[in-house]
Structure 1
Amino acid sequence: MVRALVIINCIILAIGNCGGPLIMRLYFNNGGKSIWFSTFLETAGFPVIFIPLLVSYINRRSKNTNGSENTSFFLIKPRLLISAALIGILSGFDNYLYAYGIAYLPVSTAALIIASQLAFIAIFSYFMVSHKFTPFTINAVVLLTVGAAVLGMHTETDKPLHETHRQYIIGFLMTVAAAVMYAFILPLVELSYQKAKQPMSYTLVLEVQMVLCLLASIVSLVGMIIAGDFKALPKEAREFKLGEPLFYVVVVFSAVIWQGFFLGAIGLIFCASSLVSGIMISVLLPITEVLAVIFYHEKFQAEKGLSLALSLWGFVSYFYGEIKSDKDKRIQQETELPSASRTISEC
């Protein structure tokens, strides 16, 4: 069951992680201007979570013949609810930072910057949920950090023609800030699971996702009100380069695809850990890179190539370390079992 959940979450995370930035850039490339609105779309698809929650509720009701199980529609308790709400507020601001970056950066550049978050996830995981470092983890962290630094050099060469140098630099810094902030959010979700004081299930993960996205969406809506986006959106839809009908298609698909990203990310935290979730996000980087170059004909300079090579080297290093660690644990367990058996027989 756990393996099936891991596969499902990896698939929906892959769709959201690769498709989300591309469709967000499609919005900005064709006349979209509202950063707060694109921020809202990152979490506005949360009502779709009611469908699996309804299925889970019906399933619990049908199995609860003796009245021993909790048949409430929502299982989340106040402690976990408050944690999810606070994380949702943080996510709302983090989503704004990311949307700002995508508005002024090529998708390929933004993807490479986001890859650096794995280093921060490793650090935050160590202090927040006691994730152990290995030489391979440290190597991966160093390589990813150097890769992001390389990307920061000669940034002017990949600046879109219609943007100023100032806009590009601010977008770059906003994306870095988004990477650091989301690297803090992922271990925070894992810590919330550990401190929930109730048995965690995938149904609870869905409820956490819904609360998280609801609060993040409220933050975005407040931003839209302050920025006056509600008045500007009808005109923006009419002037959308692909046509008004396709404007709404982009909006709907954006909301649904981004929901896959967030659900896949916190689902993997439940099935494995925040670090594994961060690694999976980073592993999808090359796919996002290739898709950005294919669909948007983005430049791929030497700096991006070197950054990508260092990032991939970091991923391989981490995965090799995890495989080696698991192998060493199995060997240790196999050697301990015979010695334990001998001890018992001697007694």
Structure 2
Amino acid sequence: MHFNLAASILYGLVLSLTQLAFKKVVKRENFRSVMDMIIYQQLVATCVTLIGLFASGEWKDIKMEMEEYEMGKASYVLVLTFIAITWQIFNIGGVGLLFEVSSLFSNAISFLGMLIVHILGAVFFQDQMHGIKAISMVLAAWGFISYMYQQYFDERNTPHIGKDSSTLEG
């Protein structure tokens, strides 16, 4: 449970640090720089994961895990492949939202996604709803609703310059 909390905190931190890197280090915001940022982050994450896999000795268990998979070896490889592909799409979307809007908005959308995944898991896969999961869902909904309310409030209180801007000048 503590690892999940740390992972959530670090993911939010990574998005904020990525936005900071765009502003302070990269200093250009275009599609190529977004893709470069995603590729470099994923390359570092892959290297760290592989180092951990080999350092812990768990790489020896992969073959046994593949053979014990209920649906067969091919299904095991396909599941891992599709997880990797969808994770990359998620990362492109998250960094794209960060690039277009902000890291805060990207985090808010991630919270909404987590909420939807838990609900769909409970409905379609009869995933059990524990107290911690229910609390995390309530907090995710609260965070998203709070973000949207603040955006609504800020938008409502911002003067808009329309076709008749003479009313604001004088």
- Alignment TM class, shorter chain as reference: 0.7 to 0.9
Out of 219, 222, 244, the residue aligned to residue 51 of structure 2 is 222
CA apart distance, 1:341:
4.5
TM-score by length of 2: 0.86
Aligned equivalent of 2:99:
270
Matches within 5 A, 1:166-315: 172-301=1-130, 304-305=133-134, 308-315=137-144
How has the CA–CA distance of structure 1 residues 226 and 300 changed in structure 2, closer, same or farther, with 3 Å as cutoff?
same
Extract unaligned runs of 5+ from structure 2. Answer: none
Relative distance call for 1:234 and 1:321 in structure 2 (3 A) is same
Q: Take 2:37 and 2:88, find their aligned partners in 1: how far apart are those partners?
A: 13
Distance 1:309 1:185, change over 3 A: closer
| Letter of the 1:216 counterpart | A
CA separation in 2, counterparts of 1:208 and 1:327?
34
1:77-156 equivalence runs, <5 A: none
Q: Distance in 2 between matches of 1:233 and 1:320?
A: 47
Q: Quick one: distance in 2 between partners of 1:197 and 1:304?
A: 38
Number of the residue aligned with 1:116? none
**Cα separation, 1, equivalents of 2:3 and 2:101:** 29
Q: Shift of the alpha carbon at 1:312?
A: 2.2
Q: Indicate if the aligned counterparts of 1:202 and 1:270 stay in contact, CA closer than 8 A.
A: no
Deviations 1:135-186 (A, max 9, x none): xxxxxxxxxxxxxxxxxxxxxxxxxxxxxxxxxxxxx011111111112111
The aligned counterpart of 1:338 is: 166
Larger radius of gyration: 1
Deviation track 1:208-250 (CA, whole Å, cap 9, x = no partner) reads 1011101110111111111223332222211212211111111
Q: Distance in 2 between matches of 1:240 and 1:302?
A: 30
Q: Following TM superposition, where does structure 1 have runs of at least 4 consecutive aligned residues deviating by more than 6 angstroms?
A: none
Tell me, in whole angstroms, the C-alpha distance in 1 between the residues paired with 2:132 and 2:48.
36
- Say if 1:310 and 1:234 are closer, same or farther in 2 by CA, change over 3 A: closer
SS of 1:300's partner is: coil
What residue is the counterpart of 1:167 in the other structure?
none
Unaligned 5+ segments in structure 1 are 1-171, 343-347
Residue pair 1:268, 1:274 contacting (<8 A) in 2 also: yes
Structure 1 length-normalised TM: 0.45
Identity %: 26
Partners of 1:295 and 1:340 in 2: CA distance: 54
Q: Is the 8 A contact 1:237 1:243 kept in 2?
A: yes
Paired with 1:230 and 1:302, the residues of 2 have a C-alpha distance of 34
SS at match of 1:330: coil
Give distance in 1, aligned partners of 2:147 and 2:33. 30
CA RMSD of aligned residues (A): 2.3
Contact 2:66 2:73 survives alignment (8 Å): yes
Query: Is the 1:240–1:247 Cα contact (8 Å) retained in structure 2?
Result: yes
